[in-house]
Chain A
């Protein structure tokens, strides 16, 4: 029991930015062909350390075929609000869902990241039985406990009933049950986040399990059957209050990134591909006059490429779509980072005016056609994918795998796991660090990154930056 709140809880985003820099990062390792167990890699990111840029410890799971994707902390800065009632939780456990197995691992990162260990395993049957959901995905800690979004409903292929969110107890990690009382028209799921003092949640849509588990289904994509809506929820009442359709051609609305400062009532969402022109796009959503609105505020064009260097899936188009697969917003709500996994580019947008993102920086690395090498001289397969920003906004880390079966379709040459770092200028500009290139063990791909002490896609703040 601790007498004072965890020192990594910050009342405001600004206080989090002023905190000491991260020394360790956690990244998920997944066995692309499911032949080995998935794991958690602990990476030294302290520039003063001799082992900086390498994996210094791994926690391997006792099962195979979990397919790790996203993960999150058991507790974050939101604990400092009296409304959450758990001011003395510690940011200590990483909750890692297996997206293919529906199993969830709880990893204890104490006493030191390099001694992390499995604390609890929640078996899929418990999740199926108590929630009727499957394929857990995004984790956020919030007022009622730990919220877990899922991509599948019941049954073997996850299509018996819609997917949704369920709650885990924040202390015992027991599955408590479904979160929604009224889901409205929501029938697909992906990411979710919220504004806690304003009491709303925003969720997005990817696809149903048959549309992703065995690879992308081109016919479904071209007939606009992937998700293309945003859902807005009354958080405490657990009700869907509004659904906005981005238009059926805007296929796959993925990461939801609300402004970190709770006084701001807007946020962003990335759309993977527009099926009319292969563009990727950034949308800004906002609340005004009690209702939500959403508008496309930035587009990223596809790049033409000759047929012979393209995978079969793209040969007919003779172009590479940017494929906006992840976005992340710095804690000062100033820079939005946009992964273009297809074209192999990390874009940095200045979103000081959220309605008019301005391209402020960009680096190329990997890519289906470009295949840009890392400035350190090594090959980087795949493209920039899961991106995480340091609390102070000066370092940006990313990995290169999207999802096992999709990796194989877009990058048939394989995607050996890698994690790189770019330095961001205080007023924009982005440059890859030639000396930072984390190689993952043979056969492993890399996915989401979490930073010790919190990062730009885990913490929810209940007080504005003043």
Chain B
């Protein structure tokens, strides 16, 4: 992701947040359900917070190991290439096996944060951010003071947390706006209308992001 500007990469982080957020499969209807089952609109917030926390964690646990790796500046290109390839591979795997992991059905409905974490992880949601994140970590984007290995690693970790947080915030704000709209105005009939089958589009998104990451690393330096 050489020719991409920092701004466009951040835009990609935010758009992927929107993409995940509006997808009912990432959980916003559960917040609506909590509000309808419980004491009304104020129950939206804790449910959304739990979903956001789980999603943020799912992003962070994928990105942080790359933060450490990205500090190996000399291998930077190979790491980006490998990560792109891995994301592309997971996309192809998910495309070939579109079965929903059954263990997710064992998670109790009250454990929303854990469910959100597990659902995002199982569907490779965090991986979608890896190539974008590695683009943001390219050494030339950092000032001289941050190029020492230790500082670099800390800097990368900070960027990873920022990426995960920005993504999760957009995710939960977009999902939250939908949840609030369905709860307050659109009504339960909107829940069926909100579902679009992403069984193919979702893994293709991984293939696309992984492919771009791979291509950028090959043509990069």
Which residues on A are within 8 Å of B, measured CB to CB? Answer: 1-5, 7, 9-12, 14-15, 80-88, 143-145, 171, 196-199, 236-237, 262-263, 462-466
Q: Are A197 and B197 in contact (CB under 8 A)?
A: no
Q: Given contacts A4-B196, A82-B26, A463-B188, list 12 more A-B pairs with CB under 8 A.
A: A4-B197, A9-B192, A80-B192, A80-B195, A82-B30, A83-B107, A85-B105, A88-B199, A196-B109, A199-B108, A199-B110, A463-B29
Given contacts A10-B192, A15-B188, A84-B105, contact A463 B199 (CB under 8 A): no
* B residues near A236, Cβ cutoff 8 Å: 105-109
How far, in angstroms, from A5 to B190 measured CA to CA in the complex? Answer: 12
| A465–B36 alpha-carbon span in the complex (Å) | 9
B109 touches A83 (CB 8 A): yes
B27 within 8 A of A: yes
B residues whose Cβ falls under 8 Å from a Cβ of A? 24-27, 29-30, 32-33, 36-37, 99-102, 104-110, 115, 119, 187-189, 191-193, 195-197, 199-200
Chain A hits for B24, CB < 8 A? 82, 87
Provide the bound-state CA to CA distance between A446 and B23, in Å.
44
Which residues on B sit within 8 Å (CB–CB) of A144? 102, 105-106
Q: How far is the CA of A5 from the CA of B193 in the complex (A)?
A: 8
Smallest distance from the beta carbon of B96 to chain A beta carbons, Å? 14
Please indicate the chain B residues that have their CB under 8 angstroms from the CB of A466 in the complex: 36, 187-188
Closest to B26 in A: A82
Complexed CA–CA distance, A142 and B188 (Å): 20
Given that A83-B30, A85-B104 are known contacts, is A1 also in contact with B110, CB under 8 Å in the complex?
no
Are B105 and A463 in contact (CB-based, < 8 A)?
Answer: no
**Smallest Cβ distance from A141 to chain B, in angstroms?**
12
- The answer on a CB contact under 8 Å between B189 and A11 is yes
- A82 and B191 CA atoms in complex are apart in Å by 10
Residues of A within 8 A of B119 (CB): 82, 85
Rounded to whole angstroms, the CA-CA distance of A12 and B183 in the bound complex is 13
* Chain A residue, CB-CB nearest to B123: A85
Contact of A197 among B25, B37, B200 (CB under 8 A): B37
22 interchain pairs (CB within 8 A)? A4-B192, A4-B193, A4-B197, A5-B192, A7-B192, A82-B26, A82-B30, A83-B105, A86-B100, A87-B195, A88-B197, A143-B105, A145-B102, A171-B99, A197-B33, A197-B37, A197-B109, A199-B108, A236-B107, A236-B109, A463-B29, A463-B191
**Contact between B37 and A5 (Cβ–Cβ < 8 Å)?**
no
Please, which residues of chain A bring their CB within 8 A of the CB of B187? 466
Interface centre among A7, A197, A465 (most CB of B within 10 A): A197
Closest residue on chain A to residue B32 by CB atoms: A463
Among the interface residues B25, B29, B196, which one has the most CB atoms of the partner chain A within 10 A? Answer: B29
Residues in chain B near residue A263, CB distance under 8 A = 36-37
> Total number of A-B contacts with CB less than 8 angstroms?
97
| Cα distance A80–B32 in the bound complex, in angstroms | 13
Task: Tell me the minimal C-beta distance from B213 to chain A in angstroms.
Answer: 28
**Chain B residues positioned under 8 Å from A7 (CB to CB):** 192
Rounded to whole angstroms, the CA-CA distance of A28 and B4 in the bound complex is 64
Find chain B residues with CB under 8 A from A1 CB.
197, 199-200
Decide: A3 near B196, CB < 8 A? Known: A82-B27, A262-B37, A466-B36: yes
Q: Is the CB of A5 within 8 A of B115?
A: no
Query: What is the minimal beta-carbon distance from B189 to any residue of chain A, in angstroms?
Result: 6
| A-B complex: 5 closest residue pairs judged by Cβ atoms | A85-B100, A143-B105, A11-B191, A11-B188, A144-B105
Residue of A nearest to B190 (CB): A11
B197 to nearest A CB, angstroms?
Answer: 5
Residue among A82, A144, A198 facing the most chain B CB atoms (10 A cut-off): A82
Expressed in whole angstroms, the Cα–Cα distance for A198 and B37 within the complex equals 9
Contacts of B102 in A (CB 8 A): 144-145
Residues of A within 8 A of B192 (CB): 4-5, 7, 9-11, 80
Contacts of A465 in B (CB 8 A): 188
Least CB distance from A12 to B in Å reads 5
Query: B137 → chain A, closest Cβ, in Å?
Result: 32
- Closest A residue to B105 by beta carbon equals A143
**Residue in chain B with minimal CB distance to A89:** B100
Given contacts A11-B188, A11-B192, contact A464 B36 (CB under 8 A): yes
Contacts of A88 in B (CB 8 A): 195, 197, 199
- Chain B hits for A143, CB < 8 A: 105-106
Q: Which chain A residue shows the least CB distance to B37?
A: A263
Q: How far is the CB of A267 from chain B (nearest CB, A)?
A: 16
How long is the Cα–Cα vector from A80 to B30 in the complex, in angstroms? 10
Q: How far is the CA of A10 from the CA of B188 in the complex (A)?
A: 9
Bound complex: CA A237 to CA B106 (Å)? 7
Question: How many angstroms between the C-alpha atoms of A285 and B126 in the bound complex?
Answer: 44
Inter-chain contacts of B100 with A (CB < 8 A): 85-86
Report yes or no: B195 in contact with A5, Cβ–Cβ below 8 A. yes
CB distance from A356 to the nearest CB of B (A): 25
By CB atoms of chain A within 10 A, which of B24, B30, B109 has the most? B109
> Whose C-beta in chain B lies nearest to the C-beta of A12?
B188
CB distance from B204 to the nearest CB of A (A): 13
Asked if A87 and B25 make an inter-chain contact with CB atoms under 8 angstroms apart, the answer reads yes
Q: Which residue of chain B lies nearest to A234 when distances are taken between CB atoms in the complex?
A: B108
Q: Shortest distance in angstroms between B42's beta carbon and chain A's nearest beta carbon?
A: 16
Query: A214 vs B99: C-alpha distance in the bound complex, in angstroms?
Result: 43
Q: How far is the CA of A148 from the CA of B107 in the complex (A)?
A: 20
Residues of B within 8 A of A3 (CB): 196-197
Structural contact, B109 and A80, CB atoms closer than 8 A: no
Quote the shortest CB–CB distance from B41 to chain A (angstroms): 12
Q: In the complex, what residue of chain B is closest to A236 when comparing beta carbons?
A: B108
Q: How far is the CA of A462 from the CA of B31 in the complex (A)?
A: 12
- B196 touching A463, Cβ below 8 Å: no
In the complex formed, the residue of B with least CB distance to A84 is B105
